[in-house]
């Protein structure tokens, strides 16, 4: 997709990003989760302490936010990675991912992938490090990418 601008989000842009995250989660992730898992995810994206640990980037086209990626642990762990469903398979996620790789100070990147995103992470080069897990209703597969 042409003319995509990726930039680190400022505090004023975070609410718009979290709105997009929640919308995409409800559409693509929530169907795989129990009520407990949906509630836990919602709680996490509304937890100021958790959010303060994240470095968040957004993909924009004509001032419209199309996707979000957030890292923690000094840029070595992907905490949130969501692209508006209308823009899936257009390279926006890959561009967001390549951006955070530039800021990763280590030789690996980790993620706890939702069931929906496992295939996406495999395409980005991640390998499973353990079997699918369930904690507080959140379903995830631990994954790692050697850089």
Give 2-27 pLDDT, tens digit per residue. 789 999 999 889 999 999 999 999 99
- Mapped onto helix, strand or coil, the DSSP state of residue 132 is coil
Which among 116, 37, 131, 42 has a CA at the least distance from the CA of 81? Answer: 116
How far is it, in rounded angstroms, from Cα 132 to Cα 141?
4
> Is residue 84 a contact partner of residue 20, using CB atoms and an 8 Å limit?
yes
Ranges of H-type helices in the chain = 11-24, 35-44, 48-51, 92-102, 118-123
In a domain, residue 87? The reply is: yes
> Is residue 143 a contact partner of residue 113, using CB atoms and an 8 Å limit?
yes
In a domain, residue 126? The reply is: no
Percent of the chain topping pLDDT 70: 99
Report pTM. Answer: 0.95
In a domain, residue 48? The reply is: yes
Residue 80 Cα distances to 2, 60, 62, 93, 96, angstroms: 23, 17, 23, 11, 11
In a domain, residue 124? The reply is: no
Please report, for the domain that includes residue 88, its CATH number. 3.40.630.30
Task: Name the residue range of residue 29's domain.
Answer: 5-106
Number of structural domains found in the chain: 1
In a domain, residue 117? The reply is: no
In a domain, residue 33? The reply is: yes
> Is residue 32 a contact partner of residue 81, using CB atoms and an 8 Å limit?
no
Query: Is residue 79 scored above 90 in pLDDT?
Result: yes
In a domain, residue 68? The reply is: yes
Report pLDDT for 1: 64
């Amino acid at each position: 997709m042409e003319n995509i601008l990726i930039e680190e989000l400022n505090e004023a842009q975070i609410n718009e990003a979290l709105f997009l995250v929640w919308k995409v989660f409800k559409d693509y992730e929530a169907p795989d989760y129990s009520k407990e898992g949906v509630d836990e995810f919602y709680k996490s994206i509304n937890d100021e302490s958790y959010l303060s640990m994240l470095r968040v980037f957004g993909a924009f086209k004509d001032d419209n936010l199309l996707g979000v990626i957030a890292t923690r642990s000094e840029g070595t762990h992907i905490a949130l990675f969501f692209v508006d469903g209308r823009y899936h398979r257009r390279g926006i996620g890959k561009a967001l991912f390549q951006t955070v790789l530039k800021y990763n100070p280590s030789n690996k990147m980790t993620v706890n992938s939702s069931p929906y995103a496992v295939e996406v992470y495999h395409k980005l080069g991640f390998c499973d490090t353990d079997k699918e897990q369930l904690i507080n209703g959140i379903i995830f597969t631990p994954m790692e990418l050697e850089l």
